[in-house]
Amino acid sequence: MSESLNGKGLALVPKAEGKQTLKDFKSDQEVRWCPGCGDYAILAAVQSFMPELGIKRENTVFVSGIGCSSRFPYYMNTYGFHSIHGRAPAIATGLAASRPDLSVWVITGDGDALSIGGNHLIHALRRNVNLNILLFNNRIYGLTKGQYSPTSEVGKITKSTPMGSLDKPFNPISLAVGAEAGFVARTIDSDRKHLHSVLREAAAHRGTSLVEIYQNCNIFNDNAFEDLKDPDKRDVITLRLEHGQPIANATQAVRLAPTGGLEVVARDSISPEEILVHDVHNPDPSLAFALSRLDEPAFQHVPIGIFRSVDRPSYDHLMSEQLEMAVAQRGPGDLDELLQGGDTWKIN
Amino acid sequence: MTKQVQQLDRVIIRFAGDSGDGMQLTGDRFTAETASFGNDLSTLPNFPAEIRAPAGTLPGVSSFQLHFADHDILTPGDAPNVLVAMNPAALKANLSDLPRGADIIANADEFTKRNLQKVGYDVNPLEDDSLAEWRLHSVPLTSLTVKALEEFDISKKDAERAKNMFALGLLSWLYGRPVEATIKFIETKFAKKPEIAKSNVAAFNAGYNYGETTEAFSVSYEIKPAPLSAGVYRNISGNQALALGLVAASVQSKLPLFLGSYPITPASDILHELSKHKRFGIRTFQAEDEIAGVGAALGAAFGGALGVTTTSGPGVALKAETVGLAVTTELPLIVVDVQRAGPSTGMPTKTEQTDLLMALFGRNGESPVPVIAPATPSDCFDAAVEAARIAIKYRTPVMLLSDGYLANGSEPWKVPSQAELPDISVPYTTEPNGDDGTTFLPFKRDTETLARPWAIPGTPGLEHRIGGIEKADGTGNISYDPNNHDLMVRLRQAKIDGIDVPDLEVDDPDGDARVLVLGWGSTYGPIAAAARRVRRGGHKVAQAHLRHLNPFPKNIGEVLKSYDKVLLPEINLGQLALLLRAKYLVDIISYNRVRGLPFKAEELAGVIQEVIESE
């Protein structure tokens, strides 16, 4: 158990009395994603993970926007709010800021979070409200049937870009680190064990956690992450991020580059001391940002895991503190006193 | 020298100057003195959107009009009896509103060649005969102030800036205002700069003494206190009253208030005011944009809070989709629209009633929302409580349509005690409501109100999902069933149509008027004042004012049909008239002006008179 897993993220959420099982978290609704969709794996992973948190199911809320992934709350037997396109972080902010006793999860996709809802996402991250944002990134618009998304690679041929897309994609991890998010991680739909470990840390983090989940859309963008799943390639490409461990796999290693960023080199070309040791708690986001740039150009070497986990006071906590301070300084509000405040005069 | 004191029953003063001259502050202080003296009063601040337009220019003129009287009054007055003009621009911008014989107190020091040129005066109007039809008092306010402050260790600029306090002192003497509170105010305001505080007090006193001693002013005036009903009073602006109404709604509903808001003129003062009242458990959230403001409020409402968002027209346009989500998820939400001149950015600091149709229909789908409009600045308090009552009882977003005139205008308010306020609390749902005793149906409705249960996260056994997709009646599960959609559309409409709204009251002193003048929102004051004038002239007119714009009071059709003619003045191109014509088939006579300013009582009296005479 790493030092950040101290339950702080859920400290104010009431604990469940009995033991919960996966079944408790399954709603009675029929799941209606396309057969083979990566969302099934993520749903199953989340449902099987939730009992582990040991919090009351009724104090758990899933909030989503619009898109395939955003149907997620209907399938969780918790409180849920399927809202409108891009706005889930805003709605969840109001909920989490006014109810510190809830564990609030935002389910969003690359279009929902990074296009129409980009503004809400970056502001949620900078504010650090106690939210867990799961960003299902499939690099395509699925629900509207296959237009390119803000994470699609340049030149993507889709219905709306028959000659190839022109705009450079966002890297969600870079964006989140740039907004100085306290917790930023990447995982993959097909790796349940890793997904669980990341969710565990995200839930434990008090503040906004952003978890990018590479998710396969087998209808409109099949095999987008195939190299990361291919047994022959994945170990060569993937760079597992583990706190306190050198960032390297069998063939590749990460070191500081003369440019000020990071670079990936052949592992046997450098001495072990030169390999960058991962520090998720580094308060300076520069290295986390540099790590997020390593998958450029696409998929030569892809860091997976927790990029950054830095504690700072959460917005909801600070907001509650101000209310408490106001009461401590001047006592609880008295309506008659308030209404009759200011310059008053009396007529007899 | 003992000066003559003349009795007046009412006075309208307009303070006008450059945006940087402190005219709003001067007006506020004169108002506070007048309120504590016991006159009835009504104010109209009028300022540019630019914080500091180029000095001395017409676009930079800021003014504050105050009407006060020894009887109850309804408007800030049509035409000033006194204009205080701090520079040539202020004179030029306001002269056309000034009736013959009115007093002009002009700051002669500012009528320099350069300042005159800036606004196109070839000759100094204080020195030729062009102002002969008014009573001109040309007073070197700046140099008198600087001279009075010679002994203070302050810069010349600071001394000059105190000229508004000199002017306030002079006006305070002229109308026999109590001065202690203003002196105390200055001392508090500049507590950290004692020399500035002392010099401003000195400037104020110098202005007062100047009035008393100089021969330029031979008469002072007395306006006796107005006979208001017994009680505690305070002067209050619409925005302030609305904010206090929301605090009261939170207390009276026993719900924590969550405000999600983005700064916008002229609504920001509600955010500022509510931000001060954290002792009441009020959470104020300055969002990244208008959409996040309403989104956060709706999220908080899902969590059991009294969710509120405050904005103006452009913000309402942005919030529309989220309000639609609140309509279909049937959660309580208050959307405050302090209307301003549009379309688009329009004139941010000017008033208008042009958002009515947007409030009612500015969303996709069949999306009914109750709409309430306060009539006066102090009425914003009661309207806020009423909006909360409906939102909570019926689990619906409610639009509260204030406007720039109400927001910044002020009047004396008889302060209610908490005991007089209604209990608007509604308990959350905590038990399953299914027939089997164990299931929870989030869209099973109350048979009387048609409201759905409000079960908040943290309630065991009632876990449920809501969202923007159409819901099956009862269970709330996703449904694309055609008949279910038709049913849900009708149920949501029926719920709003069935809201308990009080009947429309008609003021018709003799009971036999043939013409009804109808209004809604902030036009109450000018319409009522106009009706009084018409009646004083021996004519009969009935008056009614709508507070509930959706649903309408049940008796409104009957009221409209019982008069030969219905006149409806609106500060738009006839939005309410369109609705009433469509719904009640009554041939409404519209009177519309969209100048960014409230109606004048005299103007409306003329219109009413014309309608009566055309019978």
Residue A175 has pLDDT above 90, yes or no: yes
Looking at B500, B523, B541, the residue that finishes a domain is B500
Chain B positions touching A30 (Cβ under 8 A) are none
B461: which chain A residues are within 8 Å (Cβ-Cβ)? 58
In the predicted model, what is the mean pLDDT of residues B384-392?
A: 98
Mutant choice from A23, A27, A47, A83 vs B, greatest count of B C-beta within 10 A? A83
B394 and B325 in a common domain: yes
Give B177-227 pLDDT, tens digit per residue: 999 989 999 999 999 999 999 999 999 999 999 999 988 888 899 999 999
Q: Do B192 and B240 have their domain in common?
A: no
C-alpha B123/C-alpha B120 separation (Å) is 9
Distance CA B403, CA B337 (A): 7
- Whole-angstrom Cα distance, residue B496 to residue B367? 10
Q: Cα dihedral sign for A330, A336, A340, A346?
A: negative
pLDDT (tens digit per residue) in A96-109: 999 999 999 999 99
Are B492 and B513 members of one domain?
no
Which pLDDT score is estimated for B303? 98
Tell me which residue in A76, A323, A342 faces B281 most closely, judged by beta carbons: A323
* Secondary structure (H, E, C), B45-61: EECCCCCCCCCCCHHHE
CA–CA gap between residue B153 and residue A114 (Å, rounded): 58
Neighbours of A170 (CB within 10 A): 19
Cα A181 → chain centroid: 10
- Give dist(CA B166, CA B175) in Å, integer: 14
Q: Could you tell me which chain A residue has the CA closest to the CA of B320?
A: A84
* Per-residue confidence (pLDDT) for residue B239, from 0 to 100: 98
Which of B500, B535, B559 delimits the end of a domain? Answer: B500
Domains identified in chain B, total number = 4
The Cα B603–Cα B78 span in angstroms is 9
- Note every long-range contact of A321-328, with CB atoms under 8 Å and residues 24 or more positions apart, other chains counting: A322/B278, A323/B278, A323/B279, A323/B281, A323/B282, A323/B283, A325/B278, A326/B278, A326/B279, A327/B278, A327/B279
Q: In this structure, is residue B158 part of a structural domain?
A: yes
> Rounded distance, CA A200 to CA A187, Å?
12
In chain A, residues with a C-beta closer than 8 Å to the C-beta of B418 are 335-336, 339
Asked, for residue B48, whether it belongs to a domain, the answer is yes
- DSSP H helices in A205-309: 226-229, 234-237, 286-292
Instruction: Tell me which residues of chain B, numbers 207 to 246, contact chain A at a CB-CB cutoff of 8 Å.
Output: 228-236, 244
Whether A173 and A186 have beta carbons less than 8 Å apart is answered as yes
The residue of chain A with its CA nearest to that of B420 is: A336
In a domain, B580, yes or no: yes
How far is CA B110 from its chain centroid?
33
Burial A215-225 (b: 16+ CB within 10 A, else e): bbbbbbbeebb
Would B229 be classed as within a structural domain?
A: no
| B295 occurs within a structural domain | yes
Among B222, B257, B281, residue at a domain's last position: B222
The CATH code of the domain that includes B110 is: 3.40.920.10
User: Could you give the CA distance from residue B218 to residue B163 in angstroms, rounded to a whole number?
Assistant: 22
Q: Is residue B228 part of a domain?
A: no
Where do the DSSP E strands lie in chain A? 60-64, 79-82, 103-109, 131-137, 183-188, 209-214, 238-241, 252-256, 262-266, 302-309, 344-347
Instruction: Please report residues of B whose CB lies closer than 8 A to that of A322.
Output: 278
Q: What is the pLDDT of residue B615?
A: 64
Cα separation, B253 vs B111, in Å, equals 57
Per-residue pLDDT at A297:
65
Residue from B280, B380, B463, B464 whose CB has the most chain A CBs within 10 Å, to mutate: B463
CA neighbor of B508 nearest in space, from B479, B492, B532, B475 = B532
Specify the length of chain A in residues. Answer: 348
Q: Which residues contact B175 (CB under 8 A, 6 or more apart)?
A: B11, B13, B34, B220, B221, B222, B223
Q: For residues A97 and A132, is the Cβ–Cβ distance under 8 A?
A: no
On the question of pLDDT at A223 being above 70, the answer is yes
Longest dimension (CA), chain B: 92
In a domain, residue B579? The reply is yes
State in words which class domain A8-230 has: alpha beta
Confidence grade of residue A8 (pLDDT, cut at 50, 70, 90): confident
Q: Quick one: A261 exposed, middle or buried, by C-beta within 10 A (0-12, 13-18, 19+)?
A: middle
Q: Which amino acid is at B566?
A: V
Q: Which two tokens stand for residue A261?
A: 């960023």
B291–A79 CB contact, under 8 Å: no
% of residues, chain B, pLDDT over 90: 95
What is the pLDDT at residue B85? 97
B502 touching A (Cβ < 8 Å): no
Q: Are A34 and A219 in contact (CB under 8 A)?
A: yes
Amino acid identity at A174: S
CB pairs under 8 A between A and B: 208
Q: How far apart are CA B554 and CA B156, in angstroms?
A: 65
Do A264 and A273 meet the contact criterion of CB atoms below 8 Å apart? no
Contact B467 A80 (CB under 8 A): yes
Same domain, B362 and B270: yes
C-alpha A132/C-alpha A206 separation (Å) is 9
Q: What is the pLDDT of residues A27-59, one digit of tens each?
A: 999 999 999 999 999 999 999 999 999 999 999
Predicted local distance difference test score (pLDDT) of residue A5: 33
B 549-588 residues inside an 8 A Cβ radius of A:
none
Residue B22 CA neighbour count, 13 Å, CB half: 15
Closest-CA distance, A339 to chain B, in angstroms, reads 6
pLDDT at B104: 97
The enclosing domain of B581 has a CATH number of 3.40.50.920
The predicted-structure confidence for B563-615, as pLDDT tens digits, reads as follows 999 999 999 999 999 999 999 999 999 999 999 999 999 999 999 999 999 96
Structural domain contains residue B227: no
State which residues form the domain around B530: 506-613
Strands B82-85, B542-546: pairing kind: unpaired
- The CATH number linked to B369 is 3.40.50.970
> B372 and B467, same structural domain?
no
As given in the structure block, the two tokens for residue B548 are 């509930």
| pLDDT score for A4 | 37
Given this model, what pLDDT does residue B1 score? 52
Which residues of chain A have a CB within 8 Å of the CB of B417?
336, 339
> Domain check: are B510 and B472 in the same one?
no
* Length of chain B as a residue count: 615
Question: How far, in Å, are A204, B21, B26, B507 from residue B161 at the CA level?
Answer: 57, 7, 12, 49
Shared-domain flag, residues B34 and B92: yes
Q: Sheet of B397-403: strands edge to edge?
A: B283-286, B257-261, B306-311, B333-339, B397-403, B371-372, B548-550
Q: In which region does residue B281 sit, left (phi positive, over 0), alpha (psi from -120 to 50) or beta (all else)? A: left
Task: Please tell me the pTM assigned to this model.
Answer: 0.95
Query: What ranges do the domains of chain A cover?
Result: 8-230
Q: How far is B280 from chain A (nearest CA, A)?
A: 5
Token pair of B483 as six digits: 């008949």
Q: How far apart are CA B479 and CA A302, in angstroms?
A: 41
Say if CB B16 and CB B48 are below 8 A apart.
no
What is the rounded average pLDDT for all residues in chain B?
Answer: 96
pLDDT digits 0-9 by tens, B508-547: 999 999 999 999 999 999 999 999 999 999 999 999 999 9
Write the CA distances from B15 to A248, B22, B63, B168, B211, integer angstroms.
74, 10, 5, 9, 17
Residue contact B230–A347, C-beta within 8 A:
yes
Both B482 and B398 in one domain: the answer is no
For residue A219, pLDDT beyond 90: yes
- Spatial contact of A102 and A60, defined as CB atoms under 8 Å apart: yes
CA-based torsion, B343, B344, B347, B348: positive or negative? positive
How far away is chain B from the Cα of A328, in angstroms, using its nearest Cα?
Answer: 9
Interval B33-60: pLDDT, tens: 999 899 999 999 988 888 778 889 999 9
Q: What is the mean pLDDT of residues B159-164?
A: 95
Q: What is the pLDDT of residue A3?
A: 37
**Minimum-distance CB partner of B32 among A95, A343, A347:** A343
- In degrees and rounded to multiples of 5, residue A151 shows phi and psi of -110, 5
Q: What amino acid is encoded at B453 in this protein?
A: P
Q: Are residues B546 and B602 in the same domain?
A: yes
Q: Does residue A247 register a pLDDT over 70? A: yes
Burial class (CB in 10 A: 0-12, 13-18, 19+), B353: buried
> Of A196, A186, A285, A168, nearest to A237 (Cα)?
A186
Q: What is the dihedral of CA A149, A154, A160, A161, to 10 degrees?
A: 180
| B14 and B113 assigned to the same domain | yes
The one-letter amino acid code at A112 reads D
Q: Are residue B77 and residue B206 in the same domain, yes or no?
A: yes
Pair (B59, B136) in one structural domain? yes
Helix axes B290-302, A118-127, angle to 10 degrees: 70
